Amino acid sequence: MRPAMSFELDHVGLAHANGHRALTGVSLSAGKGERIAIIGPSGAGKTSLIRLIAASLRPTEGRLATLGASPWQLGAGELKALRARIGVIHQSPPIPPRLRVVTAVLAGRLGQWPLWKALASLVYPGDIAGAHAVLAKLDLADRLFDRCDRLSGGQLQRVGVARVLYQKPDLVLADEPVSAMDPALADHAINQLIADATERGATLVASLHAVDLALKWFPRIVGVKAGQIVFDLPPVKIDDVLLRDLYSSEGSILPTQGNEPLTHDLAPGAAEIKRPLCA
Amino acid sequence: MSRESMSAAVDSPMRQAAGFCLACWLSALALAALVWASFAYLKIDFAGVFTAESRGYMAKFVVSFFPPNLSPEFLLKTLKGTVETLAISGVGTLIAALAGLALALPASNRYGPAFKEVTRFFLNVLRSVPELVWAVLMVLAAGLGPFAGTLALALHTTGVLGRLFAETLENAPPEPADALTDMGAGASAAFVYGTLPNVMPQLVAYSLYRWEMNIRMAAILGFVGAGGLGQLLYFHLSIFQQAEAATVILAMLILVVLVDGASSYLRRGFVRAGA
């Protein structure tokens, strides 16, 4: 693995214990600081791909390296240290409903904090200012001391995003991070993730259901279908035919934010202005 | 379908209901025989209970408890006994809740099946010995007094709460703690941030419920010399001071009612805060 690589998958496959095959022969790599969107129909293997890169699922075949290490050959302590540098945003954030927002956000640093600090922070939040700062970026600062079960699905997703912003990992993996937000908020949240990754030189990989969001913000789009990568292109190279083929199993309508038609956007000329060019 | 077969289909459930059920009759007969055998074996003289003579004895016995001894000195003695009983049940339950949680971790399969089986067996042993038997053993081991009662309650309740806590932990969703270990958190930190917040209301409710039961048990444990109101009651009953015994029984009643009320208030408050 080259030193500037953030992660590298070499013919990686994943079959679940129940025999269901989630991914087959996936080769994908990203340099440090890259921003990649993964798109594809539901059940294509986007979540499995993200969990593999996150060293959360172990591949059944192929080679995999994340942040310069092969996670499944590391000892327990080294694996823990590696995972502390990886931040995962879940589609439905697995946060205990009784936890306060401030505690849920501060949990982002549990990988760095010694146990005594983690325990003390449960009694009195250790870094209220830090939690406030990241929540303010997502317009959620006023909910700092609310309990998480008082939040809507979209607000809880923003808490999940805030947790990873607070963690400051070298590799941010987001699995449908904005699926429960309205279009304006989703746009804002993605903007914040990208700004944070750019500022710190971190790598960002996000699976997105809304194709327009992916095309607007990401210079590299990876299409996944039936457990395989079908294309890996800059947005300018992606056309209607590619997308219709990718989503052929979901009917004729491409998934976008608010279900607005995407087709007129893809007309040559009009679309290119909106999309960033591949660096 | 012919008319004949249709009518048969309609009244077949009725015929079934009216039908002779051999198993039912045999069960009823066996039950009756068992009841009769029990009475015969115990040789209970129910006729004797209702004679005029025994009615007189009963009335005299009940009357002898009244009026209760409400002299200031004895009330103070009863109050001391009440506080002791309260303390025995409180400390015993608290120790049991902490020990139960510590044992529930291995018993909920966090450290592999070997640890699980060993701790489950240990919890079974603690639980299957009743509080009173533990109290007798503890009086022998630690001497007369509240210490023996506290230990007895703590031992039995640890067995009960350990098992209940272990099942609560096993049923808790694993995702929150898994998400935290995925971002490098240690097992302990992931447990207190990811699992404990989800199970806490259940653990507290179980502990409060056991405290309610333990306050009643703590009042009885004194009969074998393990301190508290029970010891007071046993002492006065055995020297036929029914007036003093009546005061103690009254104190037990008030204590149990108060603790039940406090416990259900606390539990409701906790559940509401958790909603």
CATH number at residue B81: 1.10.3720.10
Residue B166: pLDDT band by 50, 70, 90 thresholds? Answer: very high
Last-in-domain residue among B45, B63, B81: B63
In DSSP terms, A171 is beta-bridged to A86, A203
In terms of domains, do B96 and B15 share one?
A: no
Nearest residue on chain B to A89, alpha-carbon basis:
B179
What's residue B274's pLDDT?
47
Q: What is the mean pLDDT of chain B?
A: 86
Please report residues of A whose CB lies closer than 8 A to that of B190: 110
Choosing among B191, B193, B271, which should be mutated to test the A contact, i.e. which has the most A CBs within 10 A? B193
Which positions in chain A have a beta carbon within 8 angstroms of at least one beta carbon in chain B?
54-56, 80-88, 90, 93-99, 103, 107-108, 110-113, 115, 118-119, 122, 167, 169
**B201 Cα to chain A: minimum distance (Å):** 10
What's residue A247's pLDDT?
87
**A161 Cα to chain B: minimum distance (Å):** 13
Please report residues of A whose CB lies closer than 8 A to that of B186: 80, 110, 115
The kind and range of the H/E element at A61 are strand A61-66
In terms of domains, do B204 and B221 share one?
A: yes
In terms of domains, do B48 and B178 share one?
A: no
- Provide ipTM, 2 decimals: 0.83
**A239 Cα to chain B: minimum distance (Å):** 36
**A160 Cα to chain B: minimum distance (Å):** 11
Please report residues of B whose CB lies closer than 8 A to that of A169: 183
Per-residue pLDDT for B128 more than 60? yes
Predicted confidence (pLDDT) per residue in B46-76, tens digit: 777 788 888 888 888 888 888 888 888 888 9
Residue B16: pLDDT band by 50, 70, 90 thresholds? Answer: low
In terms of domains, do B152 and B257 share one?
A: yes
Predicted confidence (pLDDT) per residue in B113-124, tens digit: 899 999 999 999
**A146 Cα to chain B: minimum distance (Å):** 12
In terms of domains, do B55 and B145 share one?
A: no
Best CA proximity match to B86, nearest among B266, B252, B267? B252
Predicted confidence (pLDDT) per residue in B214-266, tens digit: 988 888 888 888 778 888 888 888 888 888 889 999 998 999 899 888 888 88
Of A80, A96, A122, the CB nearest to B186: A80
In terms of domains, do B190 and B84 share one?
A: yes
pTM of this prediction? 0.77
What's residue B7's pLDDT?
47
- Which residues have CB under 8 Å from A78's CB, separation 6+? A69
In terms of domains, do B90 and B8 share one?
A: no
Determine contact, residues A215/A277, Cβ cutoff 8 Å: no
Q: Are A110 and B184 in contact (CB < 8 Å)?
A: yes
The kind and range of the H/E element at B200 are helix B196-221
Choosing among A92, A109, A110, which should be mutated to test the B contact, i.e. which has the most B CBs within 10 A? A110
Last-in-domain residue among B63, B93, B114: B63
Q: Are A96 and B176 in contact (CB < 8 Å)?
A: yes
Determine contact, residues A103/A125, Cβ cutoff 8 Å: yes
In terms of domains, do B125 and B215 share one?
A: yes
In terms of domains, do B116 and B246 share one?
A: yes
For chain A of 279 residues, list the mean pLDDT of each consecutive stretch of 10: 76 88 91 93 90 91 89 89 93 90 93 90 90 92 90 92 94 92 91 94 92 92 92 89 85 71 47 41
Residue B195: pLDDT band by 50, 70, 90 thresholds? Answer: very high
Total structural domains within chain B? 2
In terms of domains, do B59 and B187 share one?
A: no
In terms of domains, do B11 and B111 share one?
A: no
Residue numbers of the domain that contains B35: 3-63
Residue position matching structure tokens 């115990």:
B42
What's residue B266's pLDDT?
85
Instruction: Reply yes or no: is the peptide bond before residue B67 cis, omega within 30 of 0.
Output: yes
Please report residues of A whose CB lies closer than 8 A to that of B179: 88, 90, 93-94
Please report residues of A whose CB lies closer than 8 A to that of B201: 98
Q: For residues A153 and A149, give the distance between their C-alpha atoms in angstroms, rounded to a whole number.
A: 9
CA distances from A252 to A211, A246, A247, A261 (A): 14, 11, 8, 11
Determine contact, residues A246/A40, Cβ cutoff 8 Å: yes
Choosing among B169, B178, B183, which should be mutated to test the A contact, i.e. which has the most A CBs within 10 A? B183
Last-in-domain residue among B63, B87, B113: B63
Determine contact, residues A222/A47, Cβ cutoff 8 Å: no
What's residue A123's pLDDT?
87
Residue position matching structure tokens 């002299």:
B71
In terms of domains, do B150 and B113 share one?
A: yes
Q: Which residue has the higher pLDDT, B6 or A101?
A: A101
Residue B15: pLDDT band by 50, 70, 90 thresholds? Answer: low
Of A96, A111, A115, the CB nearest to B184: A111
